[in-house]
Structure 1
Amino acid sequence: MQKNLKPGSIGVFDSGYGGLTILSEIQKLLPEYDYMYLGDNSRAPYGSRSFDIVYEFTKQAVLALFARGCNLVILACNTASAKALRTIQQNDLPHIDPRKRVLGIIRPTAEIVGQITQTRHIGIVGTQGTIQSESYPLEIRKIYPDIVVNSLPCPMWVPLVENNEYDKPGADYFVRQGIDDILAKDNAIDTLILGCTHYPLLLDKIKKISPPDLNIISQGEYIAESLKDYLNRHPEMDILCSKGSNTKYFTTESSTKFKESASIFLNKEIEAERISLD
């Protein structure tokens, strides 16, 4: 017989810091909830890792958040959403606890793109792992089979952000190269998905370099809206999410290092605790 679940924080997981851009937008829209952020910073980045390793690491993180009382976990990581979400949902949750939920960030982004593009030609930039998984094209074609999808990995963009170079003049070259290369694939592209949670920090440069009529989709606000809609449609899950406007931060790296880097993404000081997943 299963124990009654107590309300707990909404878990937000990423391999690194980029998921903080998702958390920040969720907090803006849904400030009343409690949140628990976990960054697997000691093993980041996930982008170039195999499906099996990403799945293994992501499952460990989900279990760690469940163990700390979360009943709902958001994989605020495109690579984890691409390589681990479906297996966790279909194979693991029924055995762990079928009342708990794990959600990703690819489908909500795919759902919105059809409402934005006019030409029905879109571009996606992301990490090598996300692009190679083809999760975005597959998800988009399920919903909008008429949309033409072009994808491009931009491997230098994440290091620019994590090394605090994203707003420096040296970043212009790599951002311009990425934008030029994706648009060169298809001159009918009118909408660009930033398929990595680090990329919003490059948004000012991306907008400056991109054609003025290019629609740029930064995931955070759409993920927040999608989560709000999900909780409205699933009151049985909403009551399992505690509401005290508190947030706790966990990292698998040095807590001091995490606090310093997290301030780049959040523009505020936080406290963090180091935990082990393996």
Structure 2
Amino acid sequence: MQYSYSSGTKSATGKSSNSCYRHYTAWGIKVSKNNNIAVIATPATVKMNVYKTTFDLYAPQGSTIIQRGCKLLCPMIERRWGRIHGDYLTDELIRLYLEALPKEIDTLILGCTHYPLIRDKISKYFKKNIVDPAVETTEDLLRELGRIKIKNGEVNMEKIDFIVSGKKEFFIDLAETFLEERIDNIRTLKLM
């Protein structure tokens, strides 16, 4: 379990984060009533510190962000634990990750694109504000597709390159299920 903590001070680097992190962080700041926000993400994302850096640039003084690296959530989703093992293990893992968050946290940012797939389970254990990246990610994708003038039905799956940070086999299984297409052009990106 990995944590990172901020007390709302300005970032030492002053560097700007990727726009998706700005969107999610800004949304978290907007919906939080007490400026106590948590991010659950992969350990690699937490290590990159992008949410904290962005938060420190935009959050009101005295705000708090906690980043929690949830090492097992992505593998759990990719390997479809719920389908294979039932809901008990999935629920217990999510409960353990969320139970350790301070009680004053009123907003939870889902800091991984996998996590919206288990949002219903997360919301069983976190009853306050949840910032879901699926909406922002979809809007960003649609803007980019519009920018390069791809219209509905004009996408040739053979020409799409997929870049993954995890195991290709897990991505292929999950992606082909959702897309109902065979995918081939997959590259692996090492995050850190």
TM surpasses 0.5: yes
- Structure 1 equivalent of residue 60 of structure 2: 145
1:262 aligned residue (160, 167, 175): 175
Change in Cα spacing, 1:145 to 1:277, as seen in structure 2 (3 Å) is same
- Structure 2 equivalent of residue 177 of structure 1: 96
Higher RCO structure, 1 or 2 (CA under 8 Å, sep 6+)? 1
The runs of 5 or more residues in structure 2 that have no matched partner are: 1-14
Report the alpha carbon displacement of residue 224 of structure 1 after superposing the two structures with TM: 3.6
The amino acid that maps onto 2:40 is V
> How high is the TM-score relative to the length of structure 1?
0.51
Change in Cα spacing, 1:256 to 1:137, as seen in structure 2 (3 Å) is closer
- Measured against aligned partners, the alpha-carbon deviations of 1:163-203 in whole angstroms (never above 9, x if no partner) come to 01146321111100011012xxx321110001111111111
Instruction: Tell whether the 8 Å contact from 1:124 to 1:195 is kept in structure 2 after alignment.
Output: yes
Give runs of ≥4 in structure 1 deviating > 6 Å: 252-257
1:106 aligned residue (21, 24, 34): 21
- Measured against aligned partners, the alpha-carbon deviations of 1:41-96 in whole angstroms (never above 9, x if no partner) come to xxxxxxxxxxxxxxxxxxxxxxxxxxxxxxxxxxxxxxxxxxxxx89x9xxxxxxx
Instruction: Tell whether the 8 Å contact from 1:166 to 1:202 is kept in structure 2 after alignment.
Output: no
Map 1:60-209; keep pairs closer than 5 Å: 104-146=19-61, 147-166=63-82, 168-169=86-87, 170-182=89-101, 186-209=102-125
The runs of 5 or more residues in structure 1 that have no matched partner are: 1-85, 90-102, 232-236
Change in Cα spacing, 1:270 to 1:240, as seen in structure 2 (3 Å) is same
Q: Identity percentage over the alignment? A: 22
Matches of 2:133 and 2:26, distance apart in 1: 11
Instruction: Tell whether the 8 Å contact from 2:38 to 2:109 is kept in structure 1 after alignment.
Output: yes
Instruction: Tell whether the 8 Å contact from 2:79 to 2:170 is kept in structure 1 after alignment.
Output: no
The amino acid that maps onto 2:182 is E
- Structure 1 equivalent of residue 6 of structure 2: none
- Structure 1 equivalent of residue 131 of structure 2: 217
> How high is the TM-score relative to the length of structure 2?
0.71
Instruction: Tell whether the 8 Å contact from 1:118 to 1:190 is kept in structure 2 after alignment.
Output: yes
Q: SS at the partner of 1:196?
A: coil
The alignment of Structure 1 onto Structure 2 pairs a total of residues equal to: 165
Q: SS at the partner of 2:100?
A: helix
2:151 aligned residue (244, 253, 272): 244
Change in Cα spacing, 1:205 to 1:242, as seen in structure 2 (3 Å) is same
Matches of 1:111 and 1:252, distance apart in 2: 26
Matches of 1:134 and 1:193, distance apart in 2: 14
Report the alpha carbon displacement of residue 255 of structure 1 after superposing the two structures with TM: 8.8
Matches of 1:154 and 1:255, distance apart in 2: 20
Q: SS at the partner of 2:99?
A: helix
RMSD over aligned CA atoms reads 3.3
- Structure 2 equivalent of residue 273 of structure 1: 184
